[in-house]
Chains A and B, each alone.
Chain A
Amino acid sequence: MRGEQFYRGLMRIMNDVFAGYEFLASVSDKKRELTRFANSEIHQNVSVEESGLSVMIMKNNKLLVLRSNDFSQGALKSLREKADEMIEHVPELPYNFKMPPLRMAFPFEKADLSMKNVPPSKRAEIFDLIKSKADEKELKAFGYVANNFEEDVVMSTSGLFLYATYSAVDYNIVMMNDSGGSSYTSGFAKSFNDIDIEEKAKEVSRLASMNIPRAEIEPGEYTVILGPEAVATMFFYFSYSALNGMAYEIGTSSAVKYLGKKIGPEFLNFYDDPKEDRLMGIEFDAVGGERKKLPIIENGEFKNVLYAYGTALRFGKKPTGNTVDLENLDLAFPLNPVVYGGDIPKEELFKGIDKGVYIHRFHYVNIVDPSELVLTGMTRDGLFLIENGEISTALRNMRFNISFYDMLSKLRGMSKEQEVINSSVPIVVPYALFEGFRFSSKTDH
């Protein structure tokens, strides 16, 4: 890692190199290492150190983004030459662009320093533990474990300078029995000290041992409990498809119909929360925007969409601190999503069901109709009957087609317990009980 002072020096160099332009730069330096295993052996083991510099430059209301992973003065000068060459051809923006305002803060030292230099033997130990749990039940183990350490900086000619360090461990575990039945879990934490792989591996091995499909169900509507992995997938697609402020403003988001309306029961709350301690707690977005706890669904009401920096400027809105990328200043996403749990213990959620279906995880979900957020996808890694309040017979996988909003209107309960799921971005979610969940077809396994 280079340290805060390096980037202050880089800022001075960039001020010289890009003299005559206004700029905002997003800089990162990271090391990510990942051990992947399949059939209970390590088959992939990688370490990558990389840097990234994205610089958004502006002159006469013309905007251009340049990127490089070389911070040397020579490389920066080459970027400047490229900027001079390209800016000539850039038309003026149709609205007045302003660089984000001055903002300074103490460094956000959020990384756990024990994560700075992790030997490959550490990930191998985790693999050994997972394998031992799989071996106990004669299962095969698959998955990965990764560690990450990074520095992120945003700096600009308007005096903005923000520096943060983050660390992370993320993983997934699949265990599979001889019949091909499997179970899955994933997780995320700031360091190896914050994860309990043994407990997670035990639960995966328990469900994987049970997942020998003996029955199949017919397409139709069922009372279901979605496990945290499945809940995470559904809220990812809601975030991806419905929350972008740009799409809302021009009418190509389902939020046009549903923002400001009650879309779920009183106990449904979905926030973007940078202070959530179980997540990475990202302190500023790609343009250095301040991040605050933002209600997206509150007491069942769809309260807010997210405004990236460019969209906010164009439509006279306040940026919500969710800008993801300098190259697309209209792209916004919840960076620290949390679906709050209900007040029912998980066991009681199951006990309330005489006959239903437990969906552990979804696979390959996609959007069929964005105007109503109709989603399709398959179940995977465990589909079980719930009988008399308990998970019983394993089922063959099913395809579903359902509107996210229709699904939420039939939400009947959420567990008190939440899990941190390593989805496309890490997310905190509970178990959730729905009535009338529609399966549309079967598959062969």
Chain B
Amino acid sequence: MKDLLRDVMDYLKSQGADYADARYEEHHLENITVENANLKSLSYDLDRGVGIRVLYKGGWGFAATDKLGKDHIINAAKLALEIAKESSLRSNGVELSEEKPHKDVFRSPFEKDPFDIPTGEKIDLLKEATSLMMKRENVKRSVGNMDFRRITKIFVNTEGSEIGQLILISGAGISAYAVSEEDFQVRSYPSSFGGDYATRGWEFVEQMDLIGNAEKVSQEAEALLKADEIKPGEYDIIIDGQQMALQVHESCGHPTELDRVFGYEISFAGGSFLQPDKLNKLRYGSEIVNITADATIPGGLGSFGYDDEGVKAQKSFLVKDGIFVGYLMDRQTAAKLGMKSNGAARAQSWRNIPIIRMTNINLLPGKETLDDLISGIDYGFLLSMNKSWSIDDMRVNFQFATEIAYEIKGGKLTGKIFKNPVYHGKTTEFWNSCDGIANESHWHVWGLPNCGKGQPMQVMYVGHGTSPARFRNIKVGVAR
């Protein structure tokens, strides 16, 4: 396939293309869902194809096909060129930042290939976890799922790059749904909306200990049925690592995407308040807030060897000592700022063009323990596990709901829980109220497999390294 794609690059160059690249991708997926200790679905998916991108006189064209004969791929190349020619008549001219050619192979690190683990063993694990959760009288539905993906990529471009990558993804999680006549509540572990994910192997799932955590999950789901809601007001809060991942994702990851800043997502995902005049000037958060984009973290869900423009994975700061200092960039947007891409161009599959996506966007750890953070609150709450999210199109006004809130009084957790907690605020006010971040021992890279962006919509897997953090005077609860 690599030789064929190399021939296609030579052909496109001969036809006057200023730049072209091609990606062959092959995705193998296995998905298992168990519900109430019964297998609900087991599926296997093979998806492969080629996407070819052409830049001609400043205009882009892209054509993709899953018909892999030589003629089909050549035709796709011709169509991409024809489309690029049409675009060039209505484009102000695309330029790409410089990138040296790479000839390399990357493999994500794993110990146990999940595709080598017997399917029955995986099903049995989920059956046991969901069975344990069903022991609670009010738990009417328990769900466990596992998701495995093996992605093989070949990338070539007209600048001489030839890159092969093998990326293995594993994910799993459990949820318990407790139901009463008046209400229903959910608790999840280790993460909501399908669990936690990483570019690791079966060992990642083993380390979750889904069975060991099933009892607590179901107990809390049931207890929430009788819990109160928090009286709306301003409180000091601690946000746990999993919810913090969503907070970073929505209020830092997305607004630093440079394509949003330049308006390329106005018709769908929206724009950004982080315009270039704010770069290196805006106090985004308090001095302890440091946020990086780092695609080099071993096992992070947003980790890879090279992005889908052939730019090597790297680490850069987005927020340093509280100041907004950087963007997520691809080659096109970086060139507009006279900068170099920091390797954030990613495509969901062969059928998609690369667009700017998060890699691993991380809130760097602070110095305190979680107990230290709690001890600094007279009355407030520890909010845990994302339940819903919403933020405006410029990424300023946000509102998050979590599955549970734990009461803090006199610097200690009281053991009392509250249901349907909601907190809301504005991005920079919120991050400037951060006065404590838990240390490295509480830090974990959470994997979010479902970030949507672009038209056609692309769903991307991204990572967020976070630990619990404390915020002062945050609006909690909504009158309704």
Contact = CB atoms under 8 A, between A and B. Distances in A.
A142 B393 CA distance: 15
Interface of A is mostly: strand
- The residue in B31, B46, B120 that gathers the most chain A C-beta atoms within 10 A of its C-beta is B46
Given A368-B422, A369-B420, A444-B397, A48 B351 contact: yes
A50 B49 contact: yes
Interface of A: 32, 34-39, 41-51, 63-70, 75, 78-79, 82, 86, 88-91, 93-94, 120-121, 124, 127-128, 131, 140, 142-144, 146, 172-174, 176, 180, 182, 184, 250-252, 327-330, 363-371, 374, 376-378, 380, 397, 399, 401-403, 438, 440-445
- The residue in B48, B83, B127, B387 that gathers the most chain A C-beta atoms within 10 A of its C-beta is B83
13 contacts: A38-B264, A42-B59, A43-B264, A47-B62, A48-B351, A49-B64, A49-B66, A49-B76, A252-B177, A329-B41, A364-B393, A380-B270, A443-B392
Interface string B397-418: 1010100000000000000000
B84 interface: yes
A142 B265 CA distance: 9
Nearest to A369: B420
Interface stretch (B88-96, B237-245, B286-294, B436-444): B88-96
Contacts of A36: 264, 267, 455
A42 B87 contact: yes
Contacts of B266: 38, 142, 174, 176, 182
Interface in B251-301: 262-268, 270-271, 273
Contact of A91 (B39, B62, B141, B177): B39
B390 interface: yes
Task: Pick the 9 closest A-B CB pairs, nearest first.
Answer: A89-B120, A443-B397, A89-B119, A65-B43, A67-B45, A251-B179, A120-B86, A378-B392, A366-B388
A84 B330 CA distance: 44
Given A46-B63, A46-B83, A399-B424, A363 B393 contact: yes
Nearest to B428: A444
A41 B90 contact: yes
B120 A41 contact: no
A327 B43 contact: yes
A82 B115 CA distance: 12
B390 A45 contact: no
A47 B63 contact: yes
Contacts of B86: 42, 45, 120-121, 124
B105 to A, nearest CB: 25
Nearest to B265: A38
Nearest to B127: A91
Interface in B65-120: 65-67, 76, 79-80, 82-84, 86-87, 89-92, 94, 118-120
B335 interface: no
A444 B64 contact: no
Contacts of B38: 91, 93-94
A378 B394 CA distance: 11
Contacts of A399: 390, 392, 397, 399, 424
B47 interface: yes
A39 B260 CA distance: 12
Nearest to B394: A445
A402 to B, nearest CB: 7
A171 B347 CA distance: 22
Interface in B423-480: 424, 426, 455-456, 475, 478-480
B64 A46 contact: yes
B179 A144 contact: no
Contacts of B317: none
Interface string B6-45: 0000000000000000000000000101000011111111
B184 interface: yes
B389 interface: yes
Contacts of A78: 46
Contact of B47 (A67, A172, A180): A67
A176 B420 CA distance: 37
A250 B48 contact: no
B65 A128 contact: no
Contacts of A124: 86-87, 89-90
B388 A367 contact: yes
A45 B83 contact: yes
Contact of B64 (A48, A93, A146): A48
- The residue in A43, A66, A68 that gathers the most chain B C-beta atoms within 10 A of its C-beta is A43
Contacts of B268: 172
Contact of B388 (A43, A376, A438, A445): A376
A143 to B, nearest CB: 4
B353 interface: yes
Given A82-B44, A252-B179, A120 B83 contact: yes
B60 interface: yes
A399 B424 CA distance: 10
Contact of A89 (B31, B66, B80, B123): B123
Contacts of A93: 38-39
Contacts of A397: 392, 397
Contacts of B82: 120
B144 to A, nearest CB: 14
A44 B43 contact: no
B183 interface: yes
